[in-house]
Each structure stands twice: as C-alpha cells, then as structure tokens.
Chain A
Amino acid sequence: MSNLFDLLVAGLATGAIYALVAVGFTLLWQTSQTINFAQGEFVMLPAFLMLAAMHVGAPFWLAIILGILLSMILLGLAFKLLLVDPMMRHGVLPLAIATMALAIGIKEAVKQFFSAEASPFPSIVPTGDVSVLGHAVSLQSIGVLVVAILAVFGLTTLLNRTSLGHQMQAAAQNPTVARIIGVPVERMILLTFLINAFLVALASLLITPIYLAKFSSGEVLGQAAFIAAIVGGFNQVRGAIAGGLLIGVLDNLAAAYVSTQYRAAVPMIFLIVVILFRPQGLLGRAEERTV
C-alpha cells in the first residue's frame, strides 16, 4: 500500500511536468494549428541556456531569469516569426515537418556547442524527504507539484478571468470574428507562443534536476507531452492538464506493475484506445470534420 502511495506521488510529480508541456502544446495548436514536434527539445534547451549563463559566472537565480527570458525570445518570438509565420497558411503538415527538422537542429546544436554528455543541473528545491501521512515523500516531488500547480492555476486564471485571456480565447476559437470585434489577433497569437516558451522553460527547470541535462532528453518528454495532450483533449487546456497527470501516473504504475520492458507501451495502448473511442480526448470537445 505504501508502495502505491509513493508511485502515485512520483507519478503526479512527473505528470505535472508533462501537463505544463502539454498545455503549451495545445495552446500552439489552438491559436495557430502548429503541431510542434520540437516541444520536447523546447524543454531540453532552456536548461542548457541556464547552464551556459552559470558558466559565464551568473548566480543560479540570475541564470534562471536569463534562461527564461532567452527561451521566450528564441522559442517564443523567433520560433513564431521565422518558422511558423511563413508556413502557417500552407496547412498543418509542412509546418509539422519543419518542426521535426527544428528538433534535429536544436539537438545537434546543443550537442555541438555544449556537450554530448549528460550534465548535472542544480535543483530549485532542496533534496530530502518529509513525512506526509506517514509516508516519506521527497521534497523534490512536492516542489515540482507546487510550482506546476501554481503555473497552471496562474494560466487558467489568465485565460478565464482576465480580458486578455478572453481575447486570447476568442482569437483561438474564431479569428475572423475576433478580428471584427477588435481583438488584436496577431498579438494574441504571439502571446500564446511566449506563454508556451515560458511554460517549457519552467518545465525544464523542474525536470532537468531529476533526469540531468542531455541533448537527447527531449525525445521522451516531447512524446509524453504529446500523448498527454491528445489523451486529455487536444483543444482544451484542462484536458491537457488531466492528460498530463494521467500519463504521469499511468507511466509510473505501469513500470511497477506491468513490466519495465513494456512500460512505454501502456500509455501508447491507452492513446490508441482513446483515439479510437473518443477521438476528441477525454475532456475535449468534438472537432467538426471538414468533410
């Protein structure tokens, strides 16, 4: 029983990180029909930006701020202006392929300019355990959960409670009408790209102390976030959150109870089942088919 509790906590902690990444993923999809295959690499890169800042002598807190800012410039602004804008009107597939190429580019750049080896990364939460309901729970898990919950809470407040958030939703749901009623749609789309960049930088900060900074670590993460987004509902922020938590827990339980060899298969089978029987995702709205 205690084993199950530990697994659940660990699963929720990883799941919360998946949720952050998946939320950004769905935001990009909603506002600009971008399927970002480089999302995993987007999570991998900020950690290296922060490491680079520390190499040149910045203290950890400054490195975090610099890393997040740089991520927002590179992965938010530059990504949108240089890659997404020129390709958006050509449909989903060419852009998706271009992001695959971008993923290769980011990976190779990190390998070339930083290191092909895994580097340790300092944690923002102190290591150690605390006792919760008689179970030892690592501070790291709690820290990750708290930060992720705060981020998600902040984002949903922004989206649902503020005028800016309403404008963003309008821009995502119906750009034409939004434009007519005076929403600066272009600026709103840019804003979602910046938010996505912020979320991946945050996820990077949370997950890299656990899995080390390595150029290839984005692959697994990107795929997990991808699955989380689809399972939860591709067109819903709360769907992505639920999907992220679910996949995190499922992954951890599968490793313990199914087999370590096939743990990766469980989320995949789950994904296939969800798509076949509820393609709009567990919490998603049905998308209208164009045919």
Chain B
Amino acid sequence: MNGFARPLKIALGLIVVAGLIIVPMNFNRYGLFILSQWAVMTIAAMGLNLTLGYAGQVSLAQGAFVGIGAYAGAIMTTHGWPLPVAVLVAIVLSFGVGWVLGYPALRVQHHYLAFVTLAFSTLAFLVFRNESWLTGGIYGISNIPRPHIFGIATNKPLPFYYVCLGSLAIVSLAVWWLIRSPWGRAFVALRENPLRAQSLGIDTRRYTLMAFAIGSALGGVAGALYAPLTQYIDPVPFNLSLSLDLLMMVIVGGAGFYFGPFLGAMIAVLLPEWLRFTEGYYLMLYAIAVMGLLIWSPTGILGILDRHMAARRTKAASALRAVAKSRLETAQ
C-alpha cells in the first residue's frame, strides 16, 4: 500500500494494544471476565482460521479441542502442576488428536469433512461427560487454581486478564509469523488449488494434517486458559454448539483474514453482552445481526473492508491512468 500507510498501521496497532492494556484497569469483575473470554475465544478462533481460512479444511470440532485443552489444564493444575506445563501438555495433546483427525481430510473434502469433525465433536463431548474417573463427569472439576506468573499471583480478575491478553499476544505473533512463512503459503496453496499445489512439489498430505494439528493445538491453548478463567469446568460448554460458535466467529469476522478471528470473537462474545439491555431478546437480535451481516457480506466484516479497499485502489489506479493519459496527449 501507500508509503504512509505502514507507520499509520503500526500507530493504530499500538493504540489498540495500549487500549486493551489500560482501559480495562477500572472495569468491574464481570467486564474483565468477558474481556478475558474474548481473548481466549480469539485464540481458539485463530486456530480454526488457520485450518479453515488459510488451509481451507472445514472443521466442526474446534470446540472439542477447547474442551480437551480445558480438561488437560484443569486436571493438571488441580494436581499441582503449574499452568505453563499444563498449556504445553494441552498443546501436545490437541496437536496429536488434531493430527489423527486430519486423516479423514485426506480422503474426503468439504461438507463430508465437516460431518466427520461434527461426529468427532459429539464423541469428545460424550467422553467428557461419561468418563467421570478422569473428568468428574457431569459434576465437572471445580476449584481450578489460577497460576503464579513470575511470582505474581493472578487470582484477581485483572492480573488474570493480563495473562489471557499476554497469551493472545504470543499466539498472535506466532500465527503472524506462521502465515508469512513458507508453511503459511503452502496452506493457502492447499486451499486455492490442491492439485496445483501438489504439482509444485508441496506435500499436500503433510500440510493438510499440519493445518489440522496446528489449528487444533491453538484450540487446546484456548482451553487450557479457559479452565483457570472460569475456575470450574463441566462438559456442557464444550458441546457441539461451541464448535458452531467458533465457526461462526471465523466466518463472521472474515475467514482467511488475519484479523478476522479478533473481530468475530468480539461480535460473538461482546455483542450479546451489549445487547443485554434488551433482556430476553438479546440472542435473537444477535442471530438476526449475524444473518443480516452474512447476507450483506458473505465473506464477513473484513470482506466488506477488503472490497471497499479494492474498489478504492481500482479507482485510484484508474485516476492515475487518466492523468497519465492526459499528460501523454498534451505532450503529443
């Protein structure tokens, strides 16, 4: 883009980050909880955005990976392990399961793949609910401790919000790096034209599995943070509707756009809260808003912005062309 746009963008980014750090300082307990939830859900949605938006593999199982991460986090931290170790275990576990779940993706595509992952999601829920020796069954796991980070206790909502925000920052940087690396480009190639990607020597098998595994691992990270955030988990939040919600976040924000999940999670987590004043109607209005948005722009919010910028760029380019043409004519 234009020369001045880059510093402008960096300035805007810094303002947003500073805002996220400073503004919540005088938020109440509930406001901080919602904002932390936004950070956690953004991480999960970023993972799904990698799988779906970049690599083009439809997954209806991201909620199950959040669940796997949450149970790994809850079980380990209640047994005295520190949270960072639990997060690592959650990553490894979700990565492994995600890798295995990726195998059907090698055989079937599109909606069939969505159905396989949907079935997996339900199976995971049943395991969370029924294997009470491990997960506490329907009674769940309570008294999940919040961590000490660098010796600072994060029991209060504000410090823990910073834990979530910091994790979001780390994940964002990692994903930023990933999609600019050759891997990210390979993912996009996989989405756009798998056959051509293969003919160019990209091992589509490995990258498909990778897309699933990495996306799922981020779901695991989100889960491992979700457990200490709510300090109590039971199977209900990790049923199929969480997977559907996360998918909705990615599409509404704009699949395949880096900032899509941030916006999508904002809409899914914050919009219902802002609509609370309408009492019983808030989820209805939320549903109508999502449908309206998708009718207006099926590529999500960032799709609108993208089209707008593309239109402006074409306009600018044709203006430049007109100027150049008139110069040529006057020169003749």
Interface size on B, residues (CB 8 A): 41
A window 219-257: CB within 8 A of B: 223, 226-227, 230, 234
Q: Cβ of B298 and Cβ of A101 under 8 Å apart?
A: no
B281-297 vs A: 1/0 string, CB under 8 Å? 10110111011001100
Q: A102-B287, A291-B195 are in contact. List 5 more A-B contacts (CB 8 A).
A: A87-B294, A223-B122, A271-B115, A271-B116, A279-B107
Interface segment, one of B139-147, B210-218, B247-255: B247-255
Q: Cβ of B194 and Cβ of A291 under 8 Å apart?
A: yes
A window 245-290: CB within 8 A of B: 261-262, 264-265, 268-269, 271-272, 275-276, 279, 289
Complex-state Cα separation, A223 to B121, whole angstroms: 12
> Does B112 interact with chain A (Cβ within 8 Å)?
yes
Contacts A35-B111, A94-B298, A100-B248 hold; do A272 and B291 have CB atoms under 8 A apart? Answer: no
Residue of B nearest to A101 (CB): B290
Which residues from chain B contact A261 at a C-beta distance below 8 Å? 126, 129-130
Complex-state Cα separation, A223 to B112, whole angstroms: 14
Complex-state Cα separation, A92 to B251, whole angstroms: 12
Q: Cβ of A272 and Cβ of B120 under 8 Å apart?
A: yes
B102-119 vs A: 1/0 string, CB under 8 Å? 001001111110011011
> Does B244 interact with chain A (Cβ within 8 Å)?
yes
Interface segment, one of A106-114, A137-145, A161-169: A106-114
> Does B280 interact with chain A (Cβ within 8 Å)?
yes
A window 190-212: CB within 8 A of B: none
> Does A86 interact with chain B (Cβ within 8 Å)?
yes
> Does B319 interact with chain A (Cβ within 8 Å)?
no
> Does A93 interact with chain B (Cβ within 8 Å)?
yes
Which residues from chain A contact B299 at a C-beta distance below 8 Å? 90, 94
Contacts A108-B287, A109-B284 hold; do A93 and B116 have CB atoms under 8 A apart? Answer: no
> Does B209 interact with chain A (Cβ within 8 Å)?
no
> Does B58 interact with chain A (Cβ within 8 Å)?
yes
Selected A-B contacts with CB under 8 Å, 10 pairs:
A90-B299, A93-B255, A98-B290, A105-B287, A105-B291, A108-B280, A108-B284, A261-B126, A265-B122, A265-B123
Interface size on A, residues (CB 8 A): 40
Contacts A97-B251, A108-B283 hold; do A269 and B123 have CB atoms under 8 A apart? Answer: yes
Which residues from chain A contact B108 at a C-beta distance below 8 Å? 275-276, 279
> Does A125 interact with chain B (Cβ within 8 Å)?
no
Q: Cβ of A104 and Cβ of B122 under 8 Å apart?
A: no
Q: Cβ of A275 and Cβ of B116 under 8 Å apart?
A: yes
Give B286 Cβ to nearest chain A Cβ, in Å. Answer: 7
Which residues from chain B contact A92 at a C-beta distance below 8 Å? 110-111
Which secondary structure dominates chain A's binding surface? helix
Chain B contacts to A: CB under 8 angstroms: 58, 104, 107-112, 115-116, 118-120, 122-123, 126, 129-130, 193-195, 240, 244, 247-248, 251-252, 255, 280-281, 283-284, 286-288, 290-291, 294-295, 298-299
Complex-state Cα separation, A221 to B323, whole angstroms: 63
Complex-state Cα separation, A93 to B251, whole angstroms: 8
Residue of A nearest to B287 (CB): A105
Which residues from chain B contact A94 at a C-beta distance below 8 Å? 251, 294, 298-299
Complex-state Cα separation, A76 to B280, whole angstroms: 26
Q: Cβ of B295 and Cβ of A112 under 8 Å apart?
A: no
> Does A158 interact with chain B (Cβ within 8 Å)?
no
Q: Cβ of A289 and Cβ of B284 under 8 Å apart?
A: no
Complex-state Cα separation, A265 to B128, whole angstroms: 12
Complex-state Cα separation, A105 to B116, whole angstroms: 26
Among candidates A86, A111, A223, A227, residue contacting B295 with C-beta atoms closer than 8 Å:
A86
> Does A124 interact with chain B (Cβ within 8 Å)?
no
Q: Cβ of A87 and Cβ of B295 under 8 Å apart?
A: yes
Contacts A100-B248, A102-B287, A112-B284 hold; do A289 and B126 have CB atoms under 8 A apart? Answer: no
Complex-state Cα separation, A137 to B14, whole angstroms: 71
Complex-state Cα separation, A92 to B122, whole angstroms: 22
Q: Cβ of A289 and Cβ of B119 under 8 Å apart?
A: no
Contacts A94-B298, A275-B108, A279-B108 hold; do A101 and B291 have CB atoms under 8 A apart? Answer: yes
> Does A130 interact with chain B (Cβ within 8 Å)?
no
Q: Cβ of A264 and Cβ of B126 under 8 Å apart?
A: yes
Give A37 Cβ to nearest chain B Cβ, in Å. Answer: 7
Contacts A98-B291, A105-B284 hold; do A275 and B104 have CB atoms under 8 A apart? Answer: yes
Among candidates A91, A109, A275, residue contacting B298 with C-beta atoms closer than 8 Å:
A91
Q: Cβ of A272 and Cβ of B119 under 8 Å apart?
A: yes
Which residues from chain A contact B283 at a C-beta distance below 8 Å? 104-105, 108
Which residues from chain A contact B119 at a C-beta distance below 8 Å? 227, 268-269, 271-272
